[in-house]
Chain A
């Protein structure tokens, strides 16, 4: 039987971007350098936000009030990466949806710093509703990765 060889041609795109964070995200990021997790608060509905928001999407008002949280968070949901993908962390790693202090919303960060014997034991070590605290990097630059991970309390 005659077989046909089909051709593929390769190409790629290398693109670089630079994002302007604006005043609220900048203030929030800069505070991380001093091991502080700030929340900002909508003056109208009173909701707090970690990470800080540029404006309240419900009230549609700018947000100018700030408070410092104690940094403790609650795990709202989580997943455990067991497969290796290119440019992704080496498995296993735990990604948490973490709500900090009085915040009405959550943020994404790693959960680590707990003991387990086998990777398949990890689901039993993390619970939704569990309290976690930030573990800080020694060298901080004003970035989300100034927090190494959140550890169970």
Chain B
């Protein structure tokens, strides 16, 4: 990257279910952005550009960015709209990072919208993202797509239903301590296994909820960051990768594209031993098994060794490579907000502000996002103190 870029602030709202939501889309945006601004004593007119991220067509509006007034329009701030499906949070952050790194703007706001906000029947809306001619007729919803990875991974490495339930339970336990998580019930492995089967091999508690809530982050140039923030979190590297659209075209035994992307990023920042060099990781895990596939693709363990890593306790809050101390997307999925949150969570961890879920003194963290039709895109970011 050309110029240094830092995260200086995070604004979060509380998360709830769509049915319990009483805040409007406008109030959610205002609350998250206002909190991010207040944190570093900025006004909306200090922001030089805003990156909005959501999925077009999912919020009861084909261009949700245009319906709100929370992005500094009143102060003539440019509004940039980024959409790569579920990955849009990562993709939007990447754009913000590039804009600051290129020296174009000093302060850029990223807003992660609650993508499913205003949807009555979420599965119907998600299904509009399916390939319409070749795959939509078959009842391939989001959970079914997620299951295809789990089913193949189980077969490749003789993984059991209990292994999958364990990784889900790890997230549920973590979310119970996270004031910004939606499902905070702390479900155990046994409770996960006895929850209803939705899309084999996934039980209900191995599938993310549909949440409502929003998140905002502020990215700053080196000069602005040092002036405004006592604990800036530096962006060491950030990139993305793309894959094909059709679910049928993918091979489900691993996250092949994430493997390529993480290798590329590690080479850029000189990470040789990810398990040793990283202190905290936030993985985009809307379905339990995704976390295991990501352990391997991110090089935290060898191929087929993810269950061993999990069972050793290495990826728990007090382990040597804590993964999803927030409880991950599995316990809070407000759509694109959830992919921005992976980055916000790592930033809060490095700032020492991860209330109830703080990892001990982390210095380097990784944030991942996944999305588009059945994993069409991945993004990876490395942040450090």
Contacts and interface: CB of A to CB of B under 8 A. Distances in A.
B200 to A, nearest CB: 4
A137 interface: no
A28 to B, nearest CB: 10
A10 B60 CA distance: 10
Interface of B: 22, 60, 120-121, 123-124, 127, 132-135, 137-141, 143-144, 147-149, 151-152, 155, 196-202, 244, 246-252
Contact of A108 (B60, B138, B152, B199): B138
A129 B151 CA distance: 12
Given A79-B202, A108-B247, A129-B155, 18 more contacts: A19-B133, A25-B133, A51-B134, A76-B252, A77-B152, A79-B200, A83-B198, A87-B127, A89-B138, A95-B138, A95-B144, A97-B247, A98-B248, A106-B248, A107-B248, A109-B138, A122-B200, A123-B200
Interface in A68-95: 76-83, 85-89, 93, 95
Contact of A77 (B121, B135, B148): B148
A79 B151 contact: yes
Interface in A3-33: 4, 6, 10-11, 13, 17, 19, 21, 25
A58 to B, nearest CB: 11
Given A97-B252, A108-B247, A123-B201, A128 B133 contact: no
Given A95-B140, A97-B252, A107-B248, A80 B200 contact: yes
Nearest to A122: B200
Q: Most A CB atoms within 10 A — which of B60, B121, B139, B250?
A: B139
A81 B143 CA distance: 9
B123 A97 contact: no
B137 to A, nearest CB: 6
Interface residues of A, number: 42
Contacts of B200: 79-80, 82, 122-123
Given A76-B251, A79-B147, A144 B134 contact: yes
Q: Most A CB atoms within 10 A — which of B127, B151, B196, B250?
A: B151
A81 B124 contact: no
Contact of A79 (B199, B249, B251): B199
Contact of B151 (A77, A82, A120): A77
22 contacts: A19-B132, A19-B133, A51-B134, A51-B248, A77-B151, A79-B144, A79-B148, A80-B197, A81-B139, A81-B141, A83-B143, A83-B196, A83-B198, A85-B124, A89-B138, A95-B148, A97-B248, A97-B252, A98-B248, A105-B248, A106-B249, A108-B134
